[in-house]
A and B are shown apart, each in its own frame.
Chain A
Amino acid sequence: MDKLLLLGDEALAQGALDAGLSGAYGYPGTPSTEIFEYVQHSKEAARRNVHRTWSANEKTAMEEALGMSYTGKRALVTMKHVGLNVAADPFMNSGITGANGGLIVAVADDPSMHSSQNEQDSRHYGRFALVPVFEPSNQQEAYNMTFDAFALSEKYKTPVIMRLVTRLSHSRAGIVRTKYLNENEIKLPDNPNQFMLLPAFARVKYKNLIEKQELLEKESENSKYNEYHDGKDRSLGIITCGLGYNYVKENHVESKCEYPILKICQYPLPRKLIQKIIDECDEILVVEDGMPVIEEWLRGYLDNCLKIKGRMDGTLPRCGELDPAKLRTALGLEPYPIKEVPTIVKGRPPELCKGCPHRDTYYALNEAMKEYGPGHVFSDIGCYTLGFLPPFNAINSCVDMGASISMAVGAADAGLFPSIAVIGDSTFGHSGMTPLLDAVNSKANIVAFILDNGIVAMTGMQDSAVTGRVEDICMGIGVEKEHIHVINPLKGHHEENVKIIKNEINYNGVSVIIPRRPCIHIAAKLRKQK
């Protein structure tokens, strides 16, 4: 077959399609978004009618994928690392119910937080839920592994995590498609109680899950993705996984690596292989792109093995993504000569686009808030988070999806006045509706701005789940109709908008203001459609 030039995200998606995928579920989040989009735009997926509509959030996506797995068909659910926090409840329990049809949870971590609030490592979740993890080290592996991940998932009736990181998700390479499997037919679980977690059943199933670990470990021992490369110089052994392996290899392009290397790309950890390298080598360097997960397990709480090096002793930086230069230092190799960045080069942070509707919303909000001073505006995850930067300096928080409304409620409860929330339409659909219900039930004195640009803009123009329904949803939740205002965030409406905002600040209760104007990136397209 032809070579395809694909992102790591896309390679995984192509693998899933070729491995008989029946449904993709997900919520956009950098760097995972392109996995789902690839399925969404695939002609093959359209022909087979593979499910490919975005879900409202990662939790519903995870549950929908679990439902498809229940029927015996193969399902893929995609999210960024922090999305797995949202989906943690169904994910943890899916470890106990197990899967029926193959179930892959594809999670893209973001070491160095290129576009995230933290750099949590999804391998922790794998261990937490006792679920196997695959961690591809290149695009071809991302493609190949989906076949093995689905097969393992069905063989052991367990969901499987596929963990990507930014530099694989968003890096392109040529991949070769290898085979093509038909989709599964519907076949309900052999055990009709498999998905029944009443305590009496759950206790039994949890024991089964623990017992299963030995078999999964054996799979890891024999996995083709866990390779032991012997080396002559046993003063050091390198345990590495995912992209870390590439950075080790990169530093030995000119000179062959003489140290033994254990490359781990399938978990639970292959205990015997680890024992072997630890026994054979004087010191061990652990190289992982993300948190020091393997390193921490190996060190143990007492950290008395004494021969392990890595992120926790400063051989590699404690946080942030790895790169070839960091590995070069850790391996004690001479650094390449480096030109410094000239001092005249200034930082160029991202900014709201020229003509962006959020700009006008912030100008109006700032004017209305002038008399109260700073410190009153809770915001959320999206392009509008850039309203924190000059010239706006308009918001004071960005924590997690939906937190703007809930934090505003808590602050209003404490007596902060005014207490303002700023959230985007898709984020509102994701996690903002339930806190608004709290606000209505406790008659919290807040003003919630739902910035409706009709799209999920930051991640690259995905459909928003609530388009055309924002005020209906607010009314359904119980916000009074006369305190829901749709405003037009444009310069010409500035005075009028400021007046509406001031009035609602002075109303003692829940107000919702919906600045509505399409994102400039879709505005032209919308005009054409008309």
Chain B
Amino acid sequence: MKKNIILAGVGGQGILSIATIIGYAVVKVDIYLKQAEAHGMSQRGGAVESHLRISDKEIHSDLVPHGRSDMIISLEPMESLRYFPYLKPDGWLITNITPFVNIPNYPEMKHLLKEIKAHKNSIAIDGDAIAKEIGSPRSMNMVILGASAPFLGIPFNMLEDSIRAVFGRKGEDIVQKNLDALNRGRDFAEEYIKK
């Protein structure tokens, strides 16, 4: 078992929480993990990425090699495309489609969607809308994590356990909302694959 994952988004959107949930799930079992993240200046509203590697064998590089990522999990549509050079030709692209517009030359949404859909294995999901529906706009990142769950190779209940552990101190309500978000994302992806 070996998964290379690029997490993408804009500083403050919550990619590190995704990394924490996955990390918490795998560190409990005998699986190797490396997760490189960005701190400092780039966190201020800029493009941020995290490299996550999971394997049953020892992992050498902290960075995912170019062309070797099994999936890109992105919280923002334009950011999902920025890391294409890492993605395997048949890798999965799982992205939120609500844009985070903080630059004057942000491309048109229809062009972004066209590029996303042009990639064979892609799932475009409106994580923001789903998170709002369940009354927890900040859980958008868990919706996207849920949408990537079918491809992660980690049992779904382990992700749920991680959410309980990581969000536990914030109260049962927050835990439940994040679990809902995770489930809604997963349902969307499974529905999509069936089609």
Query: Separation in Å of the A86 CB from the closest CB of chain B?
Result: 18
- Chain A CB within 10 A, most for which of B27, B41, B46, B79: B41
Contact B103 A341, beta carbon cutoff 8 Å: no
Shortest B118–chain A CB gap in Å is 9
Interfacial residues of chain A within 7-42, with CB under 8 A of chain B in the complex: 30-31, 33-34
Q: Which of A33, A247, A339, A344 contacts B61 (CB 8 A)?
A: A247
For B153, what are the chain A residues with a Cβ–Cβ distance below 8 Å?
Answer: none
Please indicate the chain A residues that have their CB under 8 angstroms from the CB of B32 in the complex: 173-174
Contact assessment for B33 and A345 in the assembled complex, using a CB-CB cutoff below 8 Å: no
**A306-340 near B? 1/0 per residue, CB < 8 Å:** 00000000000000000111001000000111111
Stretch among A163-171, A187-195, A410-418 lining the B interface = A163-171
Is B45's beta carbon under 8 Å from chain A?
Answer: yes
Contact B85 A168 (CB under 8 A): no
Residue A373, interface by CB 8 Å: no
| Known contacts A340-B84, A348-B102, A350-B41; is-contact A335 B67 (Cβ 8 Å) | yes
From A172, A246, A249, A350, B35 is in contact (CB under 8 Å) with: A172
| Alpha-carbon distance between A363 and B116 when the two chains are bound, in angstroms | 39
Within 8 A of A (CB), among B34-64: 34-47, 51, 59-63
Q: Which residues of B contact A513 (CB under 8 A)?
A: none
Which residues on B sit within 8 Å (CB–CB) of A34? 39
Name the distance in Å between B98's Cβ and chain A's nearest Cβ.
15
Q: Judge whether B68 is part of the interface by a CB distance below 8 angstroms.
A: yes
Residues of A within 8 A of B41 (CB): 30, 114-115, 350, 386, 458
Q: A337-B67, A351-B45, A386-B44 are in contact. Are A171 and B62 (CB under 8 A)?
A: yes
Q: Which residues of A contact B68 (CB under 8 A)?
A: 324, 336
Q: Which of B24, B45, B63 contacts A167 (CB 8 A)?
A: B63
Do A250 and B84 have beta carbons less than 8 Å apart? no
Q: Which residue of chain B has the shortest Cβ distance to A346 in the bound complex?
A: B105
In the complex, A476 has a CB within 8 A of chain B: no
Q: Is the interface of B mostly helix, strand, loop or mixed?
A: mixed
Instruction: Determine the chain B residues whose CB is within 8 A of the CB of A167 once the complex forms.
Output: 36, 62-63
* Residue count of chain B within 8 Å CB distance of chain A: 50
Nearest A residue to B31 via CB reads: A174
Distance A170 CA – B88 CA, assembled complex (angstroms)? 25
B132 at interface (Cβ–Cβ under 8 A)?
Answer: no
B127 within 8 A of A: no
Count residues of chain A with CB under 8 A from any CB of chain B.
Answer: 49
A486–B186 Cα distance when bound, in Å, is 53
A5 contacts B by Cβ under 8 Å = yes
Cβ contacts under 8 Å, B115 to chain A? 342, 344
In the complex the two chains form, what is the Cα distance from A357 to B164 in whole Å?
A: 36
Query: Does residue A523 face the partner (Cβ distance < 8 Å to B)?
Result: no
Q: Which of A168, A243, A348 contacts B47 (CB 8 A)?
A: A348
Residues of chain B lying within 8 A (CB to CB) of residue A114: 38, 40-42
A184 at the interface (CB under 8 A from B): no
Q: Is B169 an interface residue (CB 8 A)?
A: no
Question: Closest Cβ of chain A: how far from B192's Cβ, in Å?
Answer: 21
Cβ of B78: which chain A residues have Cβ within 8 Å of it? 344-346, 348
Q: State in angstroms the CA–CA spacing of A386 and B46 once bound together.
A: 11
Docked Cα-Cα span, A249 to B46, in Å, equals 32
Are A172 and B46 in contact, CB atoms less than 8 angstroms apart?
Answer: no
**Contact between B39 and A5, CB atoms less than 8 A apart:** no
- Shortest distance between the CB of B69 and any CB in chain A (Å): 10
Kindly provide the distance from the CB of B30 to the nearest chain A CB, expressed in whole angstroms. 9
Given contacts A250-B60, A323-B66, A339-B89, contact A115 B33 (CB under 8 A): no
A30 to B65, CA, bound (A): 24
A3 interface residue (CB < 8 Å to B) = yes
Question: Which residue of A243, A348, A351, A353 has the most chain B CB atoms within 10 A of its CB atom?
Answer: A348
Complex CA distance for A115 and B115, rounded to whole angstroms = 31
A167 to B39, CA, bound (A): 11
Q: Say whether A434 faces chain B, with CB atoms less than 8 Å apart.
A: no
**Once the chains bind, are B10 and A341 in contact (CB under 8 Å)?**
no
> What CA separation (Å) do A116 and B54 show in the bound complex?
30
Contact with B along A157-181 (1 / 0, CB 8 A): 0000000000110111110000000
Q: Is the CB of A323 within 8 A of B107?
A: no
The contact string, 1 if C-beta is below 8 Å from chain A, for chain B 169-185, is 00000000000000000
Please tell me if A349 contacts chain B, counting CB pairs below 8 Å: yes
Q: Does B23 contact A (CB under 8 A)?
A: yes
**CA–CA, A72 and B32, complex, Å:** 39
Q: Decide: B62 and A336 in contact? CB cutoff 8 A.
A: no
Question: At the interface, yes or no: A53 with Cβ under 8 Å from chain B?
Answer: no
Residues of A within 8 A of B87 (CB): 339
User: Is B39 within 8 A of A30, CB to CB?
Assistant: yes
Give the complex CA separation of A345 and B89 in angstroms: 19
Q: Name which residue of chain B comes closest to A336, CB basis.
A: B67
Question: Is the Cβ of B40 less than 8 Å from the Cβ of A30?
Answer: yes
Query: Which of B27, B79, B107, B119 neighbours the largest number of chain A CB atoms within 10 Å of its CB?
Result: B27
Q: A348 near B46 (CB under 8 angstroms)?
A: yes
15 residue pairs from A and B, CB less than 8 Å apart: A171-B34, A171-B62, A173-B32, A173-B59, A247-B60, A251-B65, A323-B61, A350-B43, A350-B44, A350-B46, A351-B102, A352-B45, A458-B40, A459-B39, A460-B40
Residues of A whose CB lies within 8 Å of any CB of B are 3, 5, 30-31, 33-34, 114-115, 167-168, 170-174, 243, 246-247, 249-251, 253, 323-325, 328, 335-342, 344-353, 383, 386, 458-460
B residues with a Cβ closer than 8 A to A are 10-11, 19, 23-24, 27, 32-47, 51, 59-63, 65-68, 78-79, 81-82, 84-85, 87-89, 102-103, 105-107, 111-112, 115, 119
Seed contacts A324-B63, A341-B84, A347-B47; 17 additional CB < 8 Å A-B pairs? A31-B39, A114-B41, A172-B19, A172-B36, A243-B61, A243-B62, A249-B61, A324-B61, A324-B65, A325-B66, A325-B67, A339-B84, A344-B81, A346-B103, A346-B106, A348-B78, A460-B40
8 tightest A-B CB contacts, nearest first: A336-B67, A30-B40, A115-B40, A350-B46, A324-B65, A171-B62, A171-B36, A350-B44
